[in-house]
Amino acid sequence: MSNSQKRRQPVYLDNHATTPTDPRVIEAMQPYFSEKFGNPHSGSHYYGWEAEEAVELARAQIAGAIGASPEEVYFTSGATEANNIALKGVTRFYREKKNHIITCVSEHPCVLDSALDLESEGTRVTYLPVGEDGLIDIDELKEAFTEDTLLVSIMTVQNEIGTVQSMAEIGALCHEHKAYLHTDAAQALGKIPLDVRAMNIDLMSITGHKVYGPMGLGALYIGNKPKVRLTPLFSGGGQEKGIRPGTLPAPICVGFGKACELAVDEMPIESKKLEIMRDGLLAKLQGAIPNIYINGGMEHRVPGNLNISVENVDAESLMAALPDLAFSTGSACSSVSQDSSYVLNAIGLSNELAESSLRIGLGRFTTEEDVDYAADRLIEEISIIRENRQVLAGTAA
């Protein structure tokens, strides 16, 4: 009997797509679904105040995780919305004065599509390339600035290859050129220390469900010093100071807040643990399988991320052969489309190697046993696929 038949629950190795909700987060949320159910905007009664108080505590916990003040944190429905608001909102507000933005080719689709929307509205957009390591070239950024540059949007941590950009340096350059810096930090929160002031960040998008919090809620940090202004995407009841109207989901806010608190507390130990496990997994794979390539540099990378290409192995086939492992071949949002990863293409991979790539995301609840099992199974199935390929090649010849 093979290992795979002994295990029933697949090993979850896709913590970049979403993280399991921490039981402590669920516990914190629970009362706000039932006895403390109020609308946080009902200013006229106890239930409303109770919910509001919980929402404000959550806001403070979130602010605490990124070094912001609570009043600089605006709830959104997620990182996609936060990124849409940041790019479109700031550009639409200031475009009469300045109308050039700079971003990068390996950003999340919600940043790139927002940039496209803005281009169709007449904004000039510069898309910086990235190197093999996944990082932008600071000199190229310097050259991209013009008098007209309003906003730079560079993600802190890349969602497929886990590379960490030098935000503080990028931010300092932006401010030198009188441009705002926005960053999509959805994959960074809880994985590396974040401090909006030290990192010179004016706007930051984050989300709950990548940090062991619930889905359906994110936040946009909008700095007060200097005050960044923007045109909201929605209109409505005036919630979140009009930046993002709509009834706030109090239980989800509570969950996001708690998740941030836990992330700050546990990051030092957790990131060390993840790094050791990730490096162990990589060493094991490299020891057993020839011709594995690491995508993106290892030096500036979040600890739980591994992205590798396995030469001569089609990643889709490998996934199909491994129903007992939950990993991905690219990001979840684009996994419906059959195209190979534009991120991997951007760091110079051929289509063939990009289609042989696996993204493995270890997380808080990944155990040593999970990693050992995953390594064994990957080695097993990769060897089978390669052997079959050789046999087929032999028959053909």
Partner 1 sequence: MKQTVYFDHNATTPVRAEVADAMAGALVLGGNASSVHGAGRRARQLVEEAREIIAELVGASLAQIVFTSGGTEANNLVLRGTECDHILVSAVEHNSVLDAADNIEIVPVNGNGVIDLTALTSRLSEIDGQVLISVMLANNETGVIEPIAEIVRIAKEHGALVHTDAIQALGKVNVDWGDLGVDFISLSAHKIGGPQGVGAIVINEEIPLKSILRGGGQERSRRAGTENVPGIVGFGAAAKLIAGELDQISKTQDLRDRMEASIKAKCSDAVIFGESIDRLPNTSCVSMPGVTSETQVMKFDLEDYMVSAGSACSSGKVQASHVLKAMGVDEETASTAIRISLGFGNNSNDVDAFVSQWGKIYARANPDQLMGAA
Q: Which of 108, 191, 258, 301 binds partner 1 (CB under 8 A)?
A: 108
Residues 61-100 that bind partner 1 (CB under 8 A): 76-81, 83-84
Query: What sections of the chain are H helices per DSSP?
Result: 3-6, 23-33, 46-66, 79-84, 90-94, 109-120, 138-144, 167-176, 250-288, 315-321, 342-346, 351-354, 368-396
The residue (of 171 and 251) whose beta carbon lies closer to partner 1 is 251
CB atoms closer than 10 angstroms to residue 394: 8
Residues 143-172 that bind partner 1 (CB under 8 A): none
Q: In this chain, which stretch among 95-103, 150-158, 192-200, 241-249 interacts with partner 1, using CB under 8 A? A: 241-249
| Burial degree of 250 (CB within 10 A; 0-12, 13-18, 19+) | buried
Q: How far is the CB of 152 from partner 1 (least distance, A)?
A: 19
CA distances from 346 to 18, 104, 132, 158, 173 (A): 24, 10, 8, 12, 23
Q: In this chain, which stretch among 208-216, 264-272, 301-309, 344-352 interacts with partner 1, using CB under 8 A? A: 208-216
Q: How far is the CB of 67 from partner 1 (least distance, A)?
A: 25
The residue (of 69 and 77) whose beta carbon lies closer to partner 1 is 77
Q: Which of 3, 33, 226, 383 binds partner 1 (CB under 8 A)?
A: 33
The residue (of 199 and 382) whose beta carbon lies closer to partner 1 is 382
Query: According to the binding rule CB under 8 A, does residue 120 interact with partner 1?
Result: no
Residues 257-316 that bind partner 1 (CB under 8 A): none
**∠ Cα 356 392 290 (to 5°):** 45
Residues 173-192 that bind partner 1 (CB under 8 A): none
Q: How far is the CB of 112 from partner 1 (least distance, A)?
A: 8
Residue 369: what residue type? Answer: E
The residue (of 117 and 140) whose beta carbon lies closer to partner 1 is 117
The residue (of 249 and 304) whose beta carbon lies closer to partner 1 is 249
Rg over alpha carbons for the chain, rounded to the nearest Å, is 22
Query: According to the binding rule CB under 8 A, does residue 7 interact with partner 1?
Result: no
- For β-strands 218-222 and 73-76, DSSP reports them as antiparallel
Residues 319-348 that bind partner 1 (CB under 8 A): 319, 323, 325-329, 331-337
Q: Exposure string (b/e) for 32-52, b if CB count within 10 Å is 16 or more?
A: beeebebebbeeeeebbebbb
Residues 6 or more apart from 268 whose CB is under 8 A from it?
A: none
Q: Which of 2, 5, 235, 338 binds partner 1 (CB under 8 A)?
A: 235
Q: Which of 162, 214, 296, 304 binds partner 1 (CB under 8 A)?
A: 214
Active site residue 333: yes
Per the CB < 8 A criterion, the answer to whether 294 and 163 are in contact is: no
CA gap 309, 373 in Å, rounded: 20
Q: In this chain, which stretch among 126-134, 146-154, 213-221, 291-299 interacts with partner 1, using CB under 8 A? A: 213-221
Considering the candidates 104, 174, 260, 333, report the single residue annotated as catalytic: 333
Per the CB < 8 A criterion, the answer to whether 282 and 307 are in contact is: no
Query: For the chain, percent helix, then strand, then coil, each to nearest 5?
Result: 45, 15, 40
Q: In this chain, which stretch among 38-46, 140-148, 267-275, 348-356 interacts with partner 1, using CB under 8 A? A: 38-46
Residues 6 or more apart from 235 whose CB is under 8 A from it?
A: 242, 245
Which of 11, 9, 95, 8 has the alpha carbon at shortest distance from 377?
11
Count of residues that bind partner 1 according to CB under 8 A:
75
CA gap 56, 168 in Å, rounded: 28
Query: According to the binding rule CB under 8 A, does residue 103 interact with partner 1?
Result: no
The residue (of 323 and 394) whose beta carbon lies closer to partner 1 is 323
| Phi, psi angles (nearest 5°) of residue 362 | -85, 155
Query: According to the binding rule CB under 8 A, does residue 39 interact with partner 1?
Result: yes
Q: Which of 47, 93, 127, 342 binds partner 1 (CB under 8 A)?
A: 47
The residue (of 47 and 127) whose beta carbon lies closer to partner 1 is 47
Query: According to the binding rule CB under 8 A, does residue 378 interact with partner 1?
Result: no
List 326's β-bridge partners, or say none. Answer: 12
Query: According to the binding rule CB under 8 A, does residue 367 interact with partner 1?
Result: no
Which residues are marked as active site? 333
